[in-house]
Amino acid sequence: MKSNNVKLNSQFHFSALKGSLSKIVCVWACATAVAYASPKVTEVNLFAAEDENRVVAAPKQQAQQVKTASSSAPKTRSSQPEGKPAARKNFSYDSLPAKNESSERVAQGNLSLKTVLATALKMAENRSPSLKQANAELGAANADIREAEGQRWPQVDVNANSRSASFGGSKTRDETPHSLSVNMTTNVFDWGRTEKTIDSQKALGEAASQKYLVNLEVLAQDVSNAIVEKEKARRASIISQQYVERMKQLVGMLESIVMTDRGRASELVQAQARLMEAEASRDNWLAKERDTEIKLRKLIGDAALTMPKNIQWTLPQTDLDKLLKVAKNHPALLQAEAEAKATRLQAEALRAGEKPQLNWVVTKSVGNNEYGREDPWQTMVTVSWPIFRGGSAQAAREAATLRAEAGYQNKENQQLELEFETRAAVQDAKTLLARADLYTGLIKETGAVKEAFFDQWYHLGRRTLLDVLIAESDYNNNRINEVSYRFDSYLAVLKAYGSTGMLSRWLLGDVQ
């Protein structure tokens, strides 16, 4: 009997010792996981909520702030470490810093951004084939103007012929001697045909000049949009990488925990699935960043373009009335108007060409004629009147008139499209910016939620891992959305300025 009692006591002590060892191993694993979970990625400062000083507590610091409490007692935080903000209270948008507090940073950001965009535009301008083509067309239009203006001056022709020789037929020899003649024809009166032609060519030259500005405006929009899209993708990829690192931390924690508690293997699977989703999202943003980088290199070449980091991006205010007033002078509208004017003047020149043309002619033949005498100077006035051309002259004039009318209608259509494009862009800029500001506050709140959920799951067991993962995902998505909406609002501002034709002038300093 005594031996049996001894045996039972030894088994009891062995079981107690085994349980103590298991608890020690669990505590060691948890402590290792907590230390492993300390964030090692520095979050990049972005906008609004991201611009404020944020201290993201590591899980180990969070554990120090959590008081041990009974299951019925509410959770409270202990005293804050030095340098950490006070406990979060009810959030209010009034607590955000006023805009005038960061006016200096806004002005610096505006200047920095404008400098970067202007530098990129100048690089693209020097290598753009479309601008080189437009410049060549402008030179050709100026040459056409000089050609038309030359018609106002006397037209001098020199004609020469050798001695003629006859063969066949009669054997009578009748040769024409060498001759040299000079003819000068001066237009005296042509019902304005020459002047209309010159004015038409000048209008085409103005259209070519405006076409160059249109191509420059399109280039400015392409370059600016590429830079903004690249910066948007870069910042989103940074946020996604931070989310990936956070998921890796949770996976590492759970791997250590599962080594001692196999019953929590399902939580590890959930965390691994979220990690793969985070990596896929990050790779997607990195791909977008590479795509915009390729597009930017196509525009500006291999020249290095340094983008200031962590600056307060700002763009000019979108005053709709001012933009609509400026939009009337859009280069595309001026080009369409100039082309229509040139066609109308060409129709008037054709109409004048149907009337009698009065010319003054002076001629002189050098050398002796067939009688051995030198011809004298001759001067005369000639009249030319194309009375019948089978209706071709009237048809050409009618076609030019209809093309001019079509050109004016094209201008009206473009003006209407640009007006409503500007209105839509201004509305989008304001809406997207307001939405980004809403996400600013949402980022603050979801950040507090994810911290609280992690504490309640890891230390108190009152939350599931799924709650923690959802909170982490919401926080990451809100940060991505805030960046996306804010940069989309910047793109809308650039579109509004491009729709009015003042983007390139603003970048190059012609307008404020």
Task: Please compute the mean of the pLDDT values over residues 462-487 and round it to a whole number.
Answer: 92
pLDDT range class, residue 421, cuts 50, 70, 90: very high
DSSP 26-48: HHHHHHHHHHHTS---PPPP-SG
DSSP 48-82: GGGGS------HHHHHHHBPP--TTSPP-B-PPPT
Instruction: Say what the pLDDT of residue 325 is.
Output: 86
pLDDT range class, residue 369, cuts 50, 70, 90: low
User: pTM score, two decimals?
Assistant: 0.73
Three-state DSSP class for 339? Answer: helix
- What is the token pair recorded at 238? 């940074």
Q: How far is CA 329 from the centre of its chain?
A: 22
CA distances from 256 to 25, 64, 98, 335 (A): 11, 21, 46, 70
pLDDT range class, residue 485, cuts 50, 70, 90: very high
Instruction: Say what the pLDDT of residue 368 is.
Output: 67
Question: What share of the chain has pLDDT > 90, as a percent?
Answer: 47
Beta pairing partners, 187: 359
| 446, 482 contact by CB (below 8 A) | no
Q: Does position 31 have pLDDT exceeding 50, yes or no?
A: no
Instruction: Say what the pLDDT of residue 319 is.
Output: 79
Tens of pLDDT, residues 298-348:
999 887 777 766 566 666 666 788 888 888 899 999 999 999 999 999 999
DSSP 342-406: HHHHHHHHHHHHTS-EEEEEEEEEESB-TTS-BPPPEEEEEEE----STTHHHHHHHHHHHHHHH
Residue of 189, 105, 171 whose CA lies nearest to 360: 189
Residue of 323, 341, 347, 345 whose CA lies nearest to 429: 323
| 450, 469 contact by CB (below 8 A) | no
pLDDT range class, residue 218, cuts 50, 70, 90: very high
Instruction: Say what the pLDDT of residue 84 is.
Output: 36
Lowest-pLDDT choice from 142-156, 237-251, 253-267, 389-403: 253-267
Query: CB-based contacts of 240: which residues, under 8 Å, 6+ apart?
Result: 278, 281, 282, 285, 476, 480
- What is the token pair recorded at 400? 């030019």
Cβ count near 271 (within 10 Å): 23
Task: Please compute the mean of the pLDDT values over residues 154-162 and round it to a whole number.
Answer: 88
Instruction: Say what the pLDDT of residue 76 is.
Output: 38
Instruction: Say what the pLDDT of residue 407 is.
Output: 93
Instruction: Say what the pLDDT of residue 168 is.
Output: 64
Q: Who wins on pLDDT, 291 or 509?
A: 291
The phi, psi pair for 182, rounded to 5°, reads -125, 130
Instruction: Say what the pLDDT of residue 217 is.
Output: 94
pLDDT range class, residue 85, cuts 50, 70, 90: very low
Give the integer Cα–Cα distance in Å for 54 and 61.
15
Tens of pLDDT, residues 423-437:
999 999 999 999 999
Task: Please compute the mean of the pLDDT values over residues 211-223 and round it to a whole number.
Answer: 94
Burial class (CB in 10 A: 0-12, 13-18, 19+), 445: middle
pLDDT averaged over every residue in the chain: 78
Q: Does position 264 have pLDDT exceeding 70, yes or no?
A: yes
Instruction: Say what the pLDDT of residue 360 is.
Output: 93
The phi, psi pair for 367, rounded to 5°, reads 110, 170
Q: Does position 172 have pLDDT exceeding 70, yes or no?
A: no
Which of 64-68, 304-308, 481-485 reaches the highest mean pLDDT?
481-485
Give the integer Cα–Cα distance in Å for 330 and 419.
10
Give the integer Cα–Cα distance in Å for 384 and 381.
10
**Which residue is associated with the tokens 């990690």?**
275
Q: Who wins on pLDDT, 62 or 269?
A: 269
Beta pairing partners, 181: 159, 365
Task: Please compute the mean of the pLDDT values over residues 197-219 and round it to a whole number.
Answer: 94
- What is the token pair recorded at 32? 């290792």
- What is the token pair recorded at 73? 């007692």
Task: Please compute the mean of the pLDDT values over residues 187-208 and round it to a whole number.
Answer: 92
Give the integer Cα–Cα distance in Å for 256 and 28.
10
| 413, 466 contact by CB (below 8 A) | no
Domain architecture of the chain: domains with CATH: 17-63+96-158+177-507 (1.20.1600.10)
